[in-house]
């Protein structure tokens, strides 16, 4: 892949301006309309529409630094709105369009936006200071019906760009405000690591209310002048139809495992792919190898957080290490520490801490959570891991998921890997629940492969040959599906609650 020499942008909108100036007729976005025909939006058209929308946002009263909440289905128009909000100097706050009013209200009340843009009709439950607009509906309250004014001043690198909320799997979601510098420093480093160029074409199947789909799938590709084909959501038939034209594909393990169920998913379909990435949850070694055989290339696993953007990635030159999330990006410092924040040697497991220009400075309106940062600027990710001698990071679990049973530390991921290597097991989840004798008891849930039977005694016997006694699950259950959040991550908190009394002694 070749990459055209361009100036280095400092903001998202500057990145779009550079591409529109240098390659105005190049396709930025492609989507299929209701008649089944492709609609292409060039970089020149994208910038023009973004500036028009930004001028309308200014007319609607949006000022630099304001927050604009957006609850829209994924489309090219909604992605142009994303860039327009940042062009207006405001902060883009995406909300999952499938959220109920109750779920949405938590994020709206916390983020305190001046506008909510959605197409659900007049929202009478909003606080009076929040104005509600639709987008592209031709209704009286359509934002596009507002007469545009002059363009507002362009944002700078320190201006807020977007605010995402953590998934909230353990309680109240936390707002992570990201500046243009946070985003640009990260997507530029990642684009370098992955060799992204204007010759690339991404098949985009991920949601865009999350950093994976919004930052990697949209911002990084636009920064490098690539083409993004947007699918409204993952759907196997459409994905297999458009994969033959894609050079880049990004997904989560749940999508990859579903694709493996289709015999049409072959190297022929993936013949142009040079990069396939996975994140948000670990790939089992068995799924990794099955994908390599089907696609003809290894899937590149990476690691990141809402608060930090992407932190590490495996290399794309074939030297990926299965089970590792790779090495830190050029913009990231990463260390492993003990509970006293003292750095540990290679091979020792501890807290994963990071710092760099892509890490947020603090949570939105949550000063009590400043303890997640050390005095010298290291952010504690909440993950546990270890680095090998070559600097590759191996995650062993979340700090909150660590199981302490009979005084011994048990890392769930170690047991999950062993279970997922056994015949008939598609996925495994290991978690701790209260135990009257050991403090916590190790428990495992397995999801069988669709056409396989799982024998619990065989699983227990196999683990007996691979794991020390204290690591072995005291109970294994079979579930057809696991509880998950919107990005496919298993909700271990829900499992712990559901089975909290599994080992309770009866009188």
Distance of CA 126 to the CA centre of its chain: 29
Each residue's pLDDT tens digit, 209-255: 999 999 999 999 999 999 999 999 999 999 999 999 999 999 988 89
278 and 376 fall within a common domain: yes
The CA distance from 64 to 67, in Å, is 9
99 and 134 fall within a common domain: yes
CATH code of the domain in which 350 resides: 3.40.50.12780
170 and 24 fall within a common domain: yes
The CA distance from 430 to 85, in Å, is 42
Q: How many domains would you assign to the chain?
A: 3
Asked if the model's pLDDT at residue 357 lies above 60, the reply is yes
Beta bridge partners of 387: 393
94 found inside a domain: yes
pLDDT at residue 507 in the model: 45
| 236: region left, alpha or beta (phi > 0 left; psi from -120 to 50 alpha) | alpha
212 found inside a domain: no
366 and 480 fall within a common domain: no
Each residue's pLDDT tens digit, 40-51: 999 999 999 999
Distance of CA 337 to the CA centre of its chain: 25
387 and 481 fall within a common domain: no
Mean pLDDT for the stretch of residues 84-112: 93
Torsion of CA 224, 248, 212, 448, to 10 degrees: -170
pLDDT at residue 355 in the model: 97
Q: How confident is the model at residue 451 (pLDDT cuts 50, 70, 90)?
A: confident
Mean pLDDT for the stretch of residues 30-39: 94
pLDDT at residue 505 in the model: 61
Question: Are 95 and 208 in contact, with CB atoms under 8 Å apart?
Answer: no
- The angle at the Cα of 482, spanning 474 to 310, to the nearest 5 degrees, equals 105
Each residue's pLDDT tens digit, 158-188: 999 999 998 654 467 899 999 999 999 999 9
132 found inside a domain: yes
Query: DSSP secondary-structure letter at 473?
Result: -
The length of the chain is 507
The fraction of the chain above a pLDDT of 90, given in percent, is 74
pLDDT at residue 285 in the model: 84
For 377-487, where are the E strands, in sequence order?
A: 379-387, 393-398, 403-405, 408-410, 425-435, 439-448, 475-478
pLDDT at residue 169 in the model: 47
The CA distance from 154 to 429, in Å, is 47
Asked if the model's pLDDT at residue 437 lies above 90, the reply is no
What is the CB neighbour count within 10 angstroms for residue 325? Answer: 27
pLDDT at residue 375 in the model: 85
Question: Are 405 and 439 in contact, with CB atoms under 8 Å apart?
Answer: yes
Question: Are 397 and 413 in contact, with CB atoms under 8 Å apart?
Answer: yes
Record the pTM.
0.86
pLDDT at residue 171 in the model: 60
91 and 154 fall within a common domain: yes
360 and 467 fall within a common domain: no
CATH code of the domain in which 476 resides: 3.30.300.30
The chain-wide mean pLDDT, for the chain, equals 92
Each residue's pLDDT tens digit, 452-475: 889 999 999 999 988 988 899 999
407 and 378 fall within a common domain: no
Both tokens of residue 69?
Answer: 């909440």
Q: Which domain holds residue 408?
A: 402-498
pLDDT at residue 493 in the model: 87
pLDDT at residue 310 in the model: 97
413 and 390 fall within a common domain: no
């Amino acid at each position: 892949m070749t990459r055209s020499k361009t100036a280095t942008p400092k903001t998202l909108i500057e990145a779009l301006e550079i591409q529109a100036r240098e390659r105005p007729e190049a396709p930025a976005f492609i989507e299929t309309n209701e008649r089944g025909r492709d609609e292409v939006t060039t970089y020149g058209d994208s910038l023009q529409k973004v500036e028009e929308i930004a001028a309308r946002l200014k007319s609607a009263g949006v000022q630099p630094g304001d927050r604009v909440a957006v609850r829209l289905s994924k489309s090219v128009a909604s992605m142009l709105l994303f860039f327009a909000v940042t062009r207006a100097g405001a902060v883009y706050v995406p909300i999952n369009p499938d959220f109920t009013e109750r779920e949405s209200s938590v994020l709206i009340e916390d983020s305190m936006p001046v506008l909510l843009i959605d197409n659900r009709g007049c929202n009478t439950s909003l606080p009076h200071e929040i104005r509600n607009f639709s987008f592209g509906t031709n209704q009286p309250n359509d934002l596009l019906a507002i007469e545009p004014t002059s363009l507002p001043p362009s944002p700078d690198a320190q201006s807020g760009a977007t605010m995402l909320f953590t998934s909230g799997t353990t309680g109240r979601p936390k707002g992570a405000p990201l500046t243009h510098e946070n985003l640009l420093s990260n997507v530029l480093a990642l684009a370098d690591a992955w060799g992204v160029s204007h010759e690339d074409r991404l098949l985009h199947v991920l949601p865009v209310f999350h950093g994976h789909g919004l930052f990697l799938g949209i911002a990084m590709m636009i920064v490098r002048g690539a083409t993004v084909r947007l699918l409204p959501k993952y759907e196997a038939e459409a994905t297999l139809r458009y994969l033959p034209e894609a050079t880049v594909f990004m997904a989560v393990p749940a999508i990859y495992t579903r694709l493996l169920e289709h015999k049409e998913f072959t190297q022929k379909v993936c013949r142009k792919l040079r990069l396939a990435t996975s994140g948000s949850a670990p790939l089992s070694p068995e799924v990794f190898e099955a994908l390599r055989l089907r696609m003809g290339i290894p899937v590149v696993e990476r690691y990141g957080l809402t608060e930090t953007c992407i932190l590490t990635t495996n290399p794309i030159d074939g030297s990926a290490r299965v089970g590792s999330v790779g090495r830190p990006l050029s913009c990231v410092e990463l260390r492993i520490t003990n509970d006293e924040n003292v750095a540990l040697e290679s091979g020792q497991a501890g807290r994963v801490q990071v710092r760099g220009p892509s890490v947020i400075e603090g949570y939105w309106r949550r000063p009590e959570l400043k303890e997640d940062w050390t005095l010298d600027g290291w952010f504690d990710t909440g993950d546990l891991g270890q680095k090998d001698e070559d600097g590759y990071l191996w995650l062993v679990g979340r700090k909150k998921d660590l199981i302490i049973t009979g005084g011994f530390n048990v890392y769930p991921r170690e047991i999950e890997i062993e279970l997922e290597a056994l015949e008939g097991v598609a996925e495994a989840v290991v978690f701790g629940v209260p135990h009257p004798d050991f403090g916590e008891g190790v428990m495992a849930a397995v999801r069988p492969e669709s056409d396989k039977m799982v024998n619990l005694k065989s699983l227990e016997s196999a683990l007996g040959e691979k794991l020390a006694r204290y690591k072995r699950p005291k109970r294994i259950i079979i579930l057809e599906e696991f509880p998950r959040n919107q990005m496919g991550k298993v909700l271990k908190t829900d499992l712990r609650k559901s089975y909290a009394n599994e080992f309770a002694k009866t009188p």
